[in-house]
A and B are shown apart, each in its own frame.
Chain A
């Protein structure tokens, strides 16, 4: 248990004006409240998106079999006599992806952790634009509600994949229109947030906090914000075009002579389905770096703190993420190798894709080398950070055959792809986010989460995520396509790998059980957890100078940074860490 240092204020900020319930807890402009709103909402959406997948996994393990109890509750339009309709399977698939990426992971990683931690870590009283911050959350939540309500539209929700490819999405049921409007809300929220993060990081750094004294977490969020700022608008443009196709009868994405179910489509034609793919992936590729960067940032913080040594290669890591962010804008068509683009452009995108793997490897390697010679404390955040490292390694390495056009031709749209990206996002990013929850929960609430429940959560999640996703590589290499509502059961070439569907499904249901300790721990500890002081982890970065939880305005007197962010085990210092805010000795 840390001794509070001299600079830690123990009293709340002098002007605690009474704002009333709504302005304090609902329409707050305090970044900490908004961060918690984002985090809790994001976690709930993650749970919901995961539930959709658990339902899908019944159909995949036992195609055509009635689901007892729950099946009959979902009604004739979705699961008549408890048996899942293909249309409903498609809805679940499209919404699982959409909800996990846009309503779950990013809001938690960026809206939640970014909002809560960033101003504290740079020694600022709040974000640069507190009201815009509030607006950003209140664009996100309605967007999420629109997405959820779309399940009740005639014909159900969007069902053309989270990728909404034209022409299928153009002619899909009304749920797709809800999806498009939902995306407009979410993109607006994201733009407001990214502007705030960039201005805050540049302008509100405490005295002495130069750019290369910033915690790596801040760099990761800064690059992420630039990705969101510049990559999302083209998807907004694409959404506008698809809305025009669906509502105004245009043919931006509808080619001439399109025949649907044996009948020529009554549309002008002259459009290009590939235009949608380009505009979509222009966002969606940088989006995957939006998914990973905050988690890398969190892992870096947790690793430095729990090895009691500075990060290895901090500067290389910073230059790497900047380079990565830039490169992420010029690799997108590696999602489109099979669209007939010709060898020149394919070579271009293949080359940039291979190049972009370099900075990722630099960052991962630096984090691994950071463990060498450390005094490792196996706290729950550290367990998740340690688990992240090899899992992200598997995810990254399995991406290489996808980035090379020749091998991608065989692997595109198979279960191999699903295996690749789930390794990066699930035991990758989500492990990073769990690490962040356990690490910063004490700062946000003034109470620690239970370590035993944390270990249960970690081991269960690690084991069962591998049970779910490892078989996907086997299935993909066998040629099983993704998005098949029967998991490949009607294909001869899939027969010998079908048993893996059952394995993955059981893994998914067990993974759900492994989350119960976390859900219980999260809520129970908020009220009954062991109380902690300002710096329970004996950490060095500025957020640990504020009280736990910090008051409105964060610090009684704004701190100054006197040194770098990871001064652990400094020779000659009295203890094994020297916080950034502690004044230099004479």
Chain B
């Protein structure tokens, strides 16, 4: 039994099912991170003093991570574009770079967290560090999730390119949308936590 509009667009909405599905999911993610940002606002507004980010955090490393994530977003677009043009080889190249950038981001995060723990800066130390670890931790989980999906699409999932290239291209596009959201969240996390 075939579900209609899995790949083809429904004429009146102009969309296929997966595209709507992923955007609905992203909307829910915006509300999830929104709640944590709202918590940041409420806690900071109610605090007598709030440390500048640089007191505890490494701005150069985070700037590097920002560049890494932005780059991975571009390579994600290029991976999708390669599929649209039928170039499976370049798709694998660009998606591979995207995954490696994600890995790089996580490695930097690992060094950041280790340094904190080494200095005995834990989530329990103060409210700033609590929200820092929670926000970046949840974001980090999303990076891992995105990398898992991308790795599956790079590896076993890519078998679909041979049987249903349009469907596979859409899947990569949707995974890309998720990955861009991960980048977008970081674009706000970086200044809020590190620079303000």
Contact = CB atoms under 8 A, between A and B. Distances in A.
A233 interface: yes
Interface residues of A, number: 46
Nearest to B127: A270
Nearest to A275: B42
Contact of B24 (A198, A248, A279): A198
Residue among A191, A196, A202, A229 with most chain B CB within 10 A: A202
A249 B123 contact: yes
Contacts of B115: none
Contacts of B13: 202-203
A188 to B, nearest CB: 11
Contact of A130 (B3, B16, B36, B133): B3
Contacts of B46: 272
Interface in A200-239: 202-204, 229-234, 236-238
A15 B1 contact: yes
A232 B27 CA distance: 12
Given A129-B21, A229-B24, A268 B5 contact: no
A144 interface: no
B124 A270 contact: no
B125 A268 contact: yes
Nearest to B25: A195
Contacts of B100: none
Interface string A480-496: 00000000000000000
B145 interface: no
Nearest to B17: A128
Contacts of A127: 3
B127 to A, nearest CB: 4
Interface residues of B, number: 41
Contacts of A195: 21, 24-25, 28
Contacts of A129: 17, 21
Contact of A270 (B21, B33, B39, B126): B126
A203 B17 contact: yes
B177 to A, nearest CB: 14
A268 B126 contact: yes
Contact of A203 (B5, B27, B42, B122): B5
B43 interface: yes
Interface in A359-383: none
Interface string B6-17: 100010010111
A229 B28 CA distance: 6
Contacts, number: 131
A240 B134 contact: yes
A125 interface: yes
A270 B44 CA distance: 9
A2 interface: no
A133 to B, nearest CB: 11
A244 interface: yes
Given A203-B17, A270-B47, A250 B35 contact: no
B127 A271 contact: yes
Contacts of A191: 25, 28
Contacts of A250: 123-124, 127, 130, 133-134
Nearest to B4: A204
A504 to B, nearest CB: 37
Contacts of B2: 125
Given A244-B134, A270-B127, A271-B43, A234 B4 contact: no
A237 B32 CA distance: 6
Interface in B29-68: 29, 31-36, 38-39, 42-43, 46-47
Contacts of A13: 1
Contacts of A553: 1
Contacts of B36: 237, 240-241
Contact of A275 (B24, B31, B43): B43
Given A233-B28, A233-B31, A272-B42, A199 B123 contact: no
A450 interface: no
A455 B9 CA distance: 49
A278 interface: yes
A237 B24 CA distance: 18
Contacts of A238: 35
B138 interface: yes
Contacts of B33: 237
A249 B21 contact: no
13 contacts: A13-B1, A194-B24, A202-B13, A230-B27, A233-B34, A234-B32, A234-B34, A237-B33, A248-B122, A250-B123, A250-B130, A270-B127, A278-B38
Given A238-B35, A241-B39, 17 more contacts: A125-B2, A128-B3, A203-B10, A204-B4, A231-B31, A233-B28, A236-B35, A237-B34, A248-B123, A248-B133, A249-B122, A249-B124, A270-B43, A271-B127, A275-B39, A279-B38, A279-B39
